[in-house]
Structure 1
Amino acid sequence: MKITTTTKTVVSAAAILLSLGTLTACSNAAESQEGDEDSSAPTIGLLLPDNVTERYASADKPYFEEKIADLCADCKVLYANADADAAKQQQQAESMLTQGADVLVLDPFDGKAAAAIVNQSIQQDVPVIAYDRMINSPDVSYYISFDNVKVGELQATALVKRMKDLGLPDDAGILMVNGSPRDPNAAQFKKGAHNVIDKSDLTVLAEYDTPGWKPAKAQNWVAGQVTKFGDEIKGVYDANDDTAGGAIAALKAGGIDPLPPVTGQDAALSGIQRILAGDQYMTVYKAFKPEAYKAAELAFALADGDSPKADSTVKTADGDEIPSFLLDPVPVTAGEVQSTVIKDGLYTVDEICTDAYAAACKENGIT
């Protein structure tokens, strides 16, 4: 009896230990599998250039993250904004590489300086996608943006036509408020604008490249031109909505009445509201969702070892051809707000038609 009891006890103990061992093994296997899944899921870095441009926080970042999550629930997105500082963007990229980024999607504050980021990334076998702005490096994997020369041409064409429709003299004076001299896209906008303006008889009274796209810089410069030229200013070519806001503030403060037609770009919420209110004439709508979505798709494909075929090529400042995807920009005046930014879901009617703009919305048929 004693021997039998002892045998049963040993067998039971062995069974318990075996059961516990099995459970432990299962638990370890699950943790290992979860860890393997986490480690194998791509990490993608998104680097944006500044905080003064409204679109980056409101559209580019959330759309990009949304598409990555749709493509890969376990993927990790590292995000940083350079706050208009090339050195800071370099540090942010280095940090992402240290954290194990598999791909960098880089919208450079300075297209020339950002070549150093590409060089460092390539040394670590991390591909780089130039997002919205070109990077002056032959090693960029893809460039995704809009036809930026066309953007400038659309802006200038709208300005020339509006001034003609207002019955202004063919040689009427205009100001040109261009973008940042460190942004490669700004040079393309400027080129496109001059393609049109230089063929017209309009007189360019003065021209300014706005450091960092900062609205305050644009406002200060335009204020000086109002003091100098006054009512000679019959139109303003402005490269984007944020600096247009600064220009318009300076025109108002300087007593220019009526306000001359002012162009813009990016379909910023504040720009759309100014257009409906009659302070700004037009903007150029660049559909940020398809741009951000395409960048996310390319980033995920590269992380997965694929190399999708590009639609076209675009040259860097040094003439190197980069596989590219270019989207079409769309001019927007008050009559197109409903059929563009509202229809595409960029903004809701409630977001646009706040109390301050309710009457303007009603006047333009947006309710």
Structure 2
Amino acid sequence: MRRVSVAIAAGAMAISLAACGSAEEAGGGDETATAAKGDDIKVGLLLPENQTARYEKFDRPLIEEKIKELTNGKATVDYNNAKQDANLQAQQVDTMITNKVDVLILDAVDAKAIKNSVQRAVDAGIKVVAYDRLAEGPISAYTSFDNVQVGKTQGEALLTALGDKAKDGQVVMMNGSVTDPNAAQFKEGAHSVLDGKVKIGKEYDTKEWKPENANSNMEAAISALGKDKIIGVYSANDGMAGGIITALKGAGIDVPVTGQDAELAGVQRIVAGEQYMSVYKPYAPEANAAAEMAVALAQGKSLDSIAKDKVDSGSAKAIPSVLVDVTSLTKDNIKDTVIKDGVYTIDEICAGKYKAACDKIGLKK
């Protein structure tokens, strides 16, 4: 499958909105004074958790590197990880305010709970870029992937894997955490494809996206439906897919399972035939967009040349946004995606027990 091209195009129209929760209000302040800072700016970066490999391995270094590049190495980045604790993240926002960062890149643990913290930051003159998850409150910009399309991509892949067997049993849906607005969009996209094509026997919203919770849910689904009735599992990400597959193996069930994030363990499970697919999300375009918008906002510049999209949250309208496209990752296009983009090497994917499986599918140097 061909990788979908990433669109981060210029030409978004400038907006003028009413004061109630508008993106203009969120980005308020004295632009002349802010622009005088030049490249000598301080950027706050708050990421939500460290259980998913992507945040520490990809997002953080990519964002930090791009900010340094855009500011000739003069900017400083204050970083913290909330470790899946919404209360801790609220405290971290307060610390960023105390440290007087010029702009904050925020990937919320709980998009709704963080609203008051976002407001405090804005009241202190700090503009907020919502990263990967659409935080509530007066944010100035947002970047993520097309999350509804992610769910559609997963659903379409599952239907392809099931083929003529789609009506022969029941599918289990393992959605993400209700505190993550992305999870609702993944679910929406998946249902738009799966509804009417398969019977959904059990569906779960998995607390905190934890693999162990997905494992427990899957064991409960197997007990309730019977192992001979389950024909496939929609898993919203790779971490949960790992927990799901452990439960399936324990029950002697071999069915297609979806995923997301193209984590190394997920890619290896795809190579081994344990997981059918993942959604490959190229982190560099998302990270670069966040860095570009944050630097522009800190310097008092327009986002028109960066953000071509507009999205609405529950508390703001027409937020300048960059939405990045995704690719369905299967054993057939590993070389053309994660290896080609330098995310992993063949040696990393095919290490140890996975070498024979790699050889079998022709994944060699």
State the TM-score bracket (shorter-chain normalisation): 0.7 to 0.9
2:43 and 2:213 mapped to 1: Cα distance?
34
Structure 2 equivalent of residue 208 of structure 1: 204
Residue 302 of structure 2 is aligned to residue 307 of structure 1: yes
The 3-state SS of whatever aligns with 2:227 is helix
Query: What letter is aligned with 2:293?
Result: L
Query: What letter is aligned with 1:204?
Result: I
Instruction: Confirm or deny: 8 A CA contact 2:37 2:299 kept in the other structure.
Output: no
1:121 and 1:81 mapped to 2: Cα distance?
18
1:311 and 1:242 mapped to 2: Cα distance?
32
Query: What letter is aligned with 2:51?
Result: V
Normalised to the residue count of structure 1, the TM-score between the two structures is: 0.86
Residue 355 of structure 2 is aligned to residue 358 of structure 1: yes
The 3-state SS of whatever aligns with 1:104 is strand
Q: CA RMSD in A?
A: 1.6
- What is the CA distance between 1:199 and its match in structure 2? 3.2
List gaps (5 residues or longer) in structure 2.
Answer: 1-35
Q: 1:141 to 1:38 in 2, by over 3 A?
A: closer
Query: What letter is aligned with 1:220?
Result: S
Q: C-alpha offsets along residues 88-141 of structure 1, whole Å, 9 cap, x if unaligned?
A: 00001111121121110001011101111210111011000010100122x211
Residue 283 of structure 2 is aligned to residue 288 of structure 1: yes
Normalised to the residue count of structure 2, the TM-score between the two structures is: 0.86
1:176 and 1:342 mapped to 2: Cα distance?
29
Structure 1 equivalent of residue 155 of structure 2: 156
The 3-state SS of whatever aligns with 2:74 is coil
Query: What letter is aligned with 2:211?
Result: P
Residue 126 of structure 2 is aligned to residue 126 of structure 1: yes
- What is the CA distance between 1:320 and its match in structure 2? 2.5
Query: What letter is aligned with 1:254?
Result: A
2:233 and 2:352 mapped to 1: Cα distance?
28
Instruction: Confirm or deny: 8 A CA contact 2:168 2:231 kept in the other structure.
Output: no
2:38 and 2:144 mapped to 1: Cα distance?
31
Q: C-alpha offsets along residues 260-286 of structure 1, whole Å, 9 cap, x if unaligned?
A: 000000111111010010000001111
1:318 and 1:301 mapped to 2: Cα distance?
23
The 3-state SS of whatever aligns with 1:334 is coil
Moved over 3 A (4+): 37-40
Structure 2 equivalent of residue 43 of structure 1: 42
- What is the CA distance between 1:171 and its match in structure 2? 4.6
1:116 and 1:328 mapped to 2: Cα distance?
31
- What is the CA distance between 1:321 and its match in structure 2? 2.5
Structure of higher CA gyration radius: 1
Q: How does 1:82-93 map to 2 (within 5 A)?
A: 82-93=82-93
Higher mean displacement: 66-75 or 259-268:
66-75
1:317 and 1:192 mapped to 2: Cα distance?
19
Structure 1 equivalent of residue 17 of structure 2: none
Aligned residues: 325
**Structure possessing the higher relative contact order (Cα contacts under 8 Å, 6 or more residues apart):** 2
Q: C-alpha offsets along residues 22-48 of structure 1, whole Å, 9 cap, x if unaligned?
A: xxxxxxxxxxxxxxx999711111111
Instruction: Confirm or deny: 8 A CA contact 1:38 1:74 kept in the other structure.
Output: no
1:216 and 1:344 mapped to 2: Cα distance?
31
2:158 and 2:314 mapped to 1: Cα distance?
28
Instruction: Confirm or deny: 8 A CA contact 1:265 1:285 kept in the other structure.
Output: yes
1:313 and 1:83 mapped to 2: Cα distance?
30
Query: What letter is aligned with 1:78?
Result: D
Query: What letter is aligned with 2:143?
Result: I
Q: How does 1:1-367 map to 2 (within 5 A)?
A: 41-72=40-71, 73-137=73-137, 139-164=138-163, 167-200=164-197, 202-228=198-224, 229-256=226-253, 259-309=254-304, 310-318=307-315, 320-367=317-364
Identity of aligned residues (%): 47
The 3-state SS of whatever aligns with 1:231 is coil
Structure 2 equivalent of residue 8 of structure 1: none
Instruction: Confirm or deny: 8 A CA contact 1:45 1:77 kept in the other structure.
Output: yes
1:183 and 1:358 mapped to 2: Cα distance?
36
The 3-state SS of whatever aligns with 2:332 is helix
Instruction: Confirm or deny: 8 A CA contact 1:314 1:324 kept in the other structure.
Output: yes
Q: C-alpha offsets along residues 154-183 of structure 1, whole Å, 9 cap, x if unaligned?
A: 00011012101xx41525211000001100
Instruction: Confirm or deny: 8 A CA contact 2:241 2:258 kept in the other structure.
Output: yes
2:168 and 2:227 mapped to 1: Cα distance?
16
- What is the CA distance between 1:317 and its match in structure 2? 2.9
2:251 and 2:257 mapped to 1: Cα distance?
15
Instruction: Confirm or deny: 8 A CA contact 1:54 1:242 kept in the other structure.
Output: no
Instruction: Confirm or deny: 8 A CA contact 1:50 1:84 kept in the other structure.
Output: yes
Structure 1 equivalent of residue 32 of structure 2: none
1:40 and 1:262 mapped to 2: Cα distance?
47
- What is the CA distance between 1:319 and its match in structure 2? 6.4
